[in-house]
Chains A and B, each alone.
Chain A
Amino acid sequence: MGEMETAPKPGRDVPPKKDKLQTKRKAQDPFPGPAPVPVEVVQKFCRIDKSRKLPRSKAKTRSRLEVAEAEEEETSIKAARSELLLAEEPGFLEGEDGEDTAKICQADIVEAVDIASAAKHFDLNLRQFGPYRLNYSRTGRHLAFGGRRGHVAALDWVTKKLMCEINVMEAVRDIRFLHSEALLAVAQNRWLHIYDNQGIELHCIRRCDRVTRLEFLPFHFLLATASETGFLTYLDVSVGKIVAALNARAGRLDVMSQNPYNAVIHLGHSNGTVSLWSPAMKEPLAKILCHRGGVRAVAVDSTGTYMATSGLDHQLKIFDLRGTYQPLSTRTLPHGAGHLAFSQRGLLVAGMGDVVNIWAGQGKGSPPSLEQPYLTHRLSGPVHGLQFCPFEDVLGVGHSGGVTSMLVPGAGEPNFDGLESNPYRSRKQRQEWEVKALLEKVPAELICLDPRALAEVDVISLEQGKKERIERLGYDPQGYDPEAKAPFQPKPKQKGRSSTASLVKRKRKVMDEEHRDKVRQSLQQQQQQQQQKEAKAKSTGARPSALDRFVR
């Protein structure tokens, strides 16, 4: 990018004096002009789809388009330059030559890393209150877990400072932080409850009953709940209203995950399908048949490109979500995976019995390759909940023996956005952020498969409006469509010449004439094409080959 701004080369005829001057200047600045920016990085920030060829446009329009393109280029270059500020690099794990990384156990890793990182590996031995579900807050600083037998606790897991610990005296099916660590939603046996970080019950939402799974959409402030009754309910936590309650018509719902890219909820069903939901539609946006048996777990990666599913048929599949919904890779697991989760950098974890397997891809944005596991770990009990901690190389596993935090190098995003989700933020900062986030809340009805739909024009209403206007006025006032001609209307004539029959005749005449014109044009085109083809064939045929001389 910056290569074009090099110093002017001295001409041959320039007197030596000037040459010297220029050399001097060169000596002063060895790297003239702005620093070059790698094209790939710039390309990452380019959002205008230039593959589509535009129709011919007027000069004024062209200038606007040029301005838009120039702006995009400039902003993307600036954004690419600012990548320099992302100083942290992701962690990684490399075995010694030929060594399988899956053989490396947690103890080895803990030994190898610094104390601060080593402290992140811990085990909570909580055998009393049964298998645990767990959830990290969006900043990755706080951890909440709830045991099947009613044990709910929230803590700052880095400092191990307990925020609250209660027993709800009811079965806890799922637990989830709301937009901040101050609010906690717990799906209990009958209803959905919301607690604050002191463990005080704030709300009991009876309209969401028998909830099995919870999912929070942070930008829409929506809490999505899937219930045993087969309803998917969206609760707006900012105003406390239920936005939509959708009947999935597929029996008990207990497999749910969200697509962080477009906030679409993925539900797994017992008939082997995964359905995609938005609160704006009563029907699923899409239904994908994934497995022959029921779906056991679903997970979507952070870029919204890949979905991992595991079913009762013991298969683990990775689907491409970019329009085709076809499986990219399939593996049969010995026991089938009961739980799946993607990390920020695209690592996939599957919980199978009391073992977790982690697969890694080629980097961020690439699907995990299921050939070789990246890491494996055996826990003290069967896995019940899995989540990678945001911005940390840590995987939290809830199991029947308690909660385990294990180190997975290269799992978390090393650079965090201080304004968006700052792990080190103070209370004040959190309050500020809360206000800003609420101001930027995205309306629930904007959830759709393509989150960039807002940057598109509503073509159907546009066309309709145009048609209506033309109908109303009798002509096209803006001349959008040069082909749209007003239908021929025969002029009234005097002395009985404008009888209905003659009018029809005249109309027919004009119509026929137009039709003939069209036919003539199409014929001409065909002829031209044929001629071109013939010409091509001739030209190719006439070309002598080098080997022709040997032909006898």
Chain B
Amino acid sequence: MTANRLAESLLALSQQEELVDLPKDYLLSGSEDEGDNDGEREHQKLLEAISSLDGKNRRKLAERSEASLKVSEFNVSSEGSGEKLVLADLLEPVKTSSSLATVKKQLNRVKSKKTVELPLNKEEIERIHREVAFNKTAKVLSKWDPVVLKNRQAEQLVFPLEKEEPAIAPIEHVLSGWKARTPLEQEIFNLLHKNKQPVADPLLTPVEKASLQAMSLEEAKMRRAELQRARALQSYYEAKARREKKIKSKKYHKVVKKGKAKKALKEFEQLRKVNPAAALEELEKIEKARMMERMSLKHQNSGKWAKSKAIMAKYDLEARQAMQEQLAKNKELTQKLQVASESEEEEGGTEEKVEELLVPDVVNEVQMNADGPNPWMLRSCTSDTKEAATQEDPEQLPEPEAHEVSESEGEDRPVAEEEILLREFEERRSLRKRSELSQDAEPAGSQETKDSSSQEVLSELRVLSQKLKENDQSRKQKASSEGTIPQVQREEPATEEEEPLLLQRPERVQTLEELEELGKEECFQNKELSRPVLEGQQSERTPNNRPDAPKKKKKEQMIDLQNLLTTQSPSVKSLAVPTIEELEDEEERNQRQMIKEAFAGDDVIRDFLKEKREAVEASKPKDVDLTLPGWGEWGGVGLKPSAKKRRRFLIKAPEGPPRKDKNLPNVIINEKRNIHTAAHQVRVLPYPFTHHWQFERTIQTPIGSTWNTQRAFQKLTTPKVVTKPGHIINPIKAEDVGYRSSSRSDLSVIQRNPKRITTRHKKQLKKSSVD
């Protein structure tokens, strides 16, 4: 990236120079000291300038306010070629020099590197953020769907919402006197029995019960606080270690190392006094380390670094010292502890020091070889040991930072429980670091890692000295923190229990819900059972009523009005006949005759039929006649438009629905719409209904107290929402409806961490959001 940019800037620079050069030359043209070549060109240019003086294509010359008569011999002029300056030209030296070769190499390397993917632009990143955030929020919010649905369908909502104690229908009640009969039920019960799930009496399994009783809320809170504190402390410690590690001062590190070594020694001394057995063990360990060192070629000035130092040692005092230090270390590590007396050791040490001061590497090597038992073995073993070391704890390789903490394996054992937690954190952190490292993978970084790995191997040897102190520490800890450790140990199982609880709870709730649902279903079934019965009854009844109607209608078609009115009906001979009639029986007959005569003339029936015909005609929609006389033919008085034309311009009205009184000869039913009544009717369908029949069904039952019993009336007119006066109505919470409090953290992760997102990330994100 940087190299790329560098190249670009170089290019730009060269171009600039190019630009700058041209006018310079132009100005300089007047000067005498110029070659033939130059003169010709200048002449050409002059001609061009003159020719361009006329007209539009007059070239505007670049002006230069600053007159520089000096001709710089360092300036690169691109005259003659007329081409752009290429980067390679710039780098091409006048004389080939070795220093430029490296630059070239670097450039080549830069060129060969693939370009890093461009970060997405801001809008796209924001869109992706929004998308993901939306998906997450939707997911989080979707858990409210059933609650919302329930509230919408609820007959009545009473606010403030009271947390209902989930009425656990005791399953014993449900199950008493009930037996699995169908094969499905039997199978289910088999499964339940197999898994030792409670079937009848206790609702919960013993484990569930125990887990329910395990912890109170306060306890859990305290535990959580403790854990948090531990985590915080750890993070502080880590931060401190990192800070210290970052310190580049070699002196500081040296001092620290020395201090540590001294401390270790002191402790070892103390240990020897206090607990000789342990000290012996330690010694053994030290011995083993010594053997390892002897086997290896470490600290023997045979490495690359050592060799380079050896070259420099002639001139550089520091380098010499470094080498000596190495050797001293080697000595230190390879020395046998018990065998040699202190004085001897000192003597050897001084001798060596003196020697090392004078003698260069090669000599030393020889000497060392002489010291060591078998030079061949040393050579061959080095690589193996390295491997072995890496195999010994592979965990330490990827986490150079946390090394100092994790180094101490001895510490691990007593505080193992804590360690698990810590390790989790570290793993996560290291993962993150690794990803970071891989992201900005620079050559320097890889080198560093190499260095660090080698250092690890080195530092592993330091286990030796540190283990001395560790044991002591652990013992101290054991002594001092015997109160705390058990606590921690207690914590651990607790957390372990917590997890199952967390896992189990929702399941249990689910089962409860399922139970409720089952109950509901049963209810529904009951209802359904009852309904078919009702329906059956209704259907039984309806046929009685309904099929009559069509039959009647069919009959009605046969009705003749004449028959209807003229049929002789049986006359009544009641006991109590009107007195007058009794007296004048003959007169009665006369009267009848008279009536018949009286109504013989005026034909009521005919009149009525005529009236009906008129009414039918009047109610029929009328045709529209659009003929214009005189158009397209002769016009004038007495001339009618032709039948063809009339037929053509007659718009026939659509036929309406059949009249209600079509088959009723003695009835005229008014078909006109009663607009006054219609004004009171519903004319817009409310929301969930798509057909007016559906809506009509819901409003057919009257709700007034005139038609209903008092209880039914009250029930039908209960308000949808009831608020208790004087109570604060809080917004609904997850706890109110039986959810555990929601974790909002997962929502805001992305907003807090707006990293660079590339197209690759985008794809991943999309995938995840789809999932």
Q: Is B383 an interface residue (CB 8 A)?
A: no
Decide: A288 and B666 in contact? CB cutoff 8 A: yes
Q: Is A527 an interface residue (CB 8 A)?
A: no
Which residues in window 237-296 of B have CB below 8 A to A?
A: none
Complexed CA–CA distance, A67 and B542 (Å): 22
A280 to B673, CA, bound (A): 10
A458 to B681: give the CA distance in the assembly, Å.
6
> Is B551 part of the contact surface with A, judged by Cβ < 8 Å?
no
Interface membership of chain B positions 688-707, coded 1 if the CB is closer than 8 angstroms to chain A and 0 otherwise: 11111111111111100011
Residues of chain B lying within 8 A (CB to CB) of residue A457? 681-683, 685, 692, 695-696
B561 close to chain A: CB less than 8 A: yes
Whole-angstrom distance from the CB of A215 to the nearest CB of chain B? 20
How many Å lie between the Cα of A63 and that of B687 in the bound state? 13
Per-residue CB contact flags for chain B residues 564-575 toward chain A (1 = under 8 Å, else 0) read 111111111111
Which of B546, B564, B575 is in CB contact (< 8 Å) with A103?
Answer: B575
Q: Is residue A362 within 8 Å, beta carbon to beta carbon, of the partner chain?
A: no
CA separation between A460 and B716, bound complex, in Å?
A: 30
The answer on a CB contact under 8 Å between A326 and B559 is: yes
Kindly state whether residue B577 has any CB partner on chain A within 8 Å: yes
Distance of A54 Cα from B605 Cα, bound (Å):
42
Do B572 and A58 touch across chains, with their CB atoms under 8 A apart? Answer: no
Q: Which residue of A288, A335, A440, A462 contacts B588 across the interface (Cβ within 8 Å)?
A: A335
Question: Cβ of B682 and Cβ of A458 under 8 Å apart?
Answer: yes
B599 and A102 contacting across the interface, CB-CB below 8 Å:
no
Residue of B nearest to A7 (CB): B177
User: Does chain A have a CB within 8 A of B46?
Assistant: no
- Would you call B690 and A57 a contact (CB within 8 A)? yes
- Alpha-carbon distance A60/B694, docked complex (angstroms): 12
Q: Is the CB of A373 within 8 A of B574?
A: yes
Provide the bound-state CA to CA distance between A353 and B672, in Å.
Answer: 41
Cα A50 to Cα B697 with chains together (Å): 8
Q: Report the minimal beta-carbon distance from A68 to chain B, rounded to whole angstroms.
A: 4
Residue of A nearest to B609 (CB): A289
A74 touching B700 by the CB < 8 A rule? no
Residues of A within 8 A of B691 (CB): 54-55, 57
Contact call B604/A334, Cβ cutoff below 8 A: no
Complex contacts, B527 vs chain A, CB 8 Å: 70
Chain A residues lying within 8 Å of B556, measured Cβ to Cβ, are 324, 326
| Contact of A48 with B693 in the complex, beta carbons under 8 Å | no
Judged by a CB distance under 8 angstroms, whether A28 is at the interface is: no
Task: Give the complex CA separation of A47 and B574 in angstroms.
Answer: 41
Q: A333-B571, A335-B581, A457-B685 are in contact. Are A58 and B690 (CB under 8 A)?
A: yes
State how many angstroms separate the Cβ of A141 from the closest Cβ of chain B. Answer: 21
Q: Which of A75, A440, A462 contacts B685 (CB 8 A)?
A: A462
Check B537–A39 contact: CB distance below 8 A.
yes
A286 touches B669 (CB 8 A): yes
Q: Is the CB of B688 within 8 A of A58?
A: yes
> Does A456 interact with chain B (Cβ within 8 Å)?
yes
Contact across chains for B526 and A326 when beta carbons are under 8 A apart: no
Does B680 lie at the interface of the complex (its beta carbon under 8 Å from any beta carbon of A)? yes
Distance from B568 Cβ to chain A, minimum over Cβ atoms (Å): 8
| Docked complex Cα distance between A50 and B527 (Å) | 18
Task: Answer whether residue A108 sits at the interface, using C-beta atoms and an 8 A cutoff.
Answer: no
Of A18, A70, A290, A376, the residue contacting B177 (CB under 8 A) is A18
A28 to chain B minimum Cβ distance, whole angstroms, is: 17
Interface residues of A in 413-438 (CB under 8 A from B): 420
Chain B residues lying within 8 Å of A448, measured Cβ to Cβ, are 674, 677
- A72: chain B residues at CB < 8 Å are 700-701
A291 close to B696 (CB less than 8 A): no
Return B329 CB to nearest CB of chain A, in Å. 82
Measured CA separation A289–B712 after assembly (Å): 44
Indicate with 1 or 0, residue by residue over B535-566, a CB within 8 angstroms of chain A CB atoms: 10110011000100000100010010100111
- Decide yes or no: A102 and B688 within 8 Å by CB, A332-B569, A457-B695, A458-B681 being known contacts: no
- Chain B's nearest CB lies how many Å from the CB of A276? 9
Residue on B with the closest CB to A373? B574
Residues of B contacting A353 with CB < 8 Å? 578-581
> Which A residues are in CB contact (< 8 Å) with B709?
75, 78-79, 81-82
The answer to whether A61 and B690 touch across the interface, beta carbons within 8 angstroms, is yes
CB distance from B414 to the nearest CB of A (A): 59
Report how far A332 CA is from B595 CA in the complex, Å: 14
B730 proximal to A (CB < 8 A): no
- Known A50-B538, A51-B542, A355-B576; contact A325-B695, beta-carbon cutoff 8 A: no
Q: How far is the CA of A4 from the CA of B523 in the complex (A)?
A: 12
How many angstroms between the C-alpha atoms of A213 and B529 in the bound complex? 56
Q: How far is the CA of A420 from the CA of B538 in the complex (A)?
A: 32
- Please tell me which one of the listed residues B179, B541, B572, B578 contacts residue A43 in the complex, with CB atoms under 8 A apart: B541
A459-B670 in contact (CB<8A):
no
B698 contacts A64, CB within 8 Å? yes
The answer to whether A284 and B670 have CB atoms under 8 Å apart is: yes
Which of chain B's residues have a CB closer than 8 A to the CB of A14?
A: 177
Query: For the complex, is B759 an interface residue (Cβ under 8 Å from A)?
Result: no
Partner pick for B699 among A284, A287, A455, CB 8 A cutoff: A455
Chain A positions within 8 Å of B655 at CB level: none
Cβ proximity bits B657-690 to A, threshold 8 Å, 1 near / 0 not: 0001100101111101110111111111100111
From A71, A290, A292, A446, B680 is in contact (CB under 8 Å) with A446
- The answer to the question of A540 belonging to the interface, with a C-beta cut-off of 8 Å to chain B, is no
Is the Cβ of B694 less than 8 Å from the Cβ of A57? yes
Q: Is A102 a contact of B575 with CB atoms below 8 Å?
A: yes
Cβ distance A149 to chain B, nearest Cβ, rounded Å: 23
Residues of A within 8 A of B697 (CB): 48-49, 54, 65, 68-69
Write out the residue numbers on chain B whose beta carbons fall within 8 Å of the beta carbon of A461: 678, 683
Interface flag for A156 (CB, 8 Å):
no
Closest to A370 in B: B572
Interface positions of A (Cβ within 8 A of B): 1, 4, 8, 10-11, 13-14, 18, 22, 39, 43, 47-52, 54-55, 57-58, 60-61, 63-65, 67-75, 78-79, 81-82, 100, 102-103, 271-273, 278, 280-281, 283-293, 312-315, 323-327, 330-335, 352-355, 357, 370, 373, 376-378, 420, 440, 443, 445-446, 448, 452-462, 465, 480
Give me the 8 closest cross-chain CB pairs, A-B, nearest first: A353-B578, A445-B676, A376-B576, A330-B569, A458-B681, A457-B692, A332-B571, A68-B698
Interface residues of B (CB under 8 A from A): 153, 176-179, 526-527, 529-530, 533-535, 537-538, 541-542, 546, 552, 556, 559, 561, 564-581, 588, 592, 595, 598-599, 604-605, 607-608, 611, 660-661, 664, 666-670, 672-674, 676-685, 688-702, 706-709, 711-712, 715-716
26 A–B contact pairs at CB < 8 A? A1-B530, A8-B178, A43-B537, A47-B700, A57-B690, A57-B691, A60-B688, A67-B698, A75-B715, A78-B711, A79-B712, A285-B669, A286-B661, A289-B565, A292-B604, A293-B595, A312-B595, A313-B599, A326-B564, A332-B570, A357-B572, A445-B679, A446-B677, A452-B700, A457-B681, A480-B685
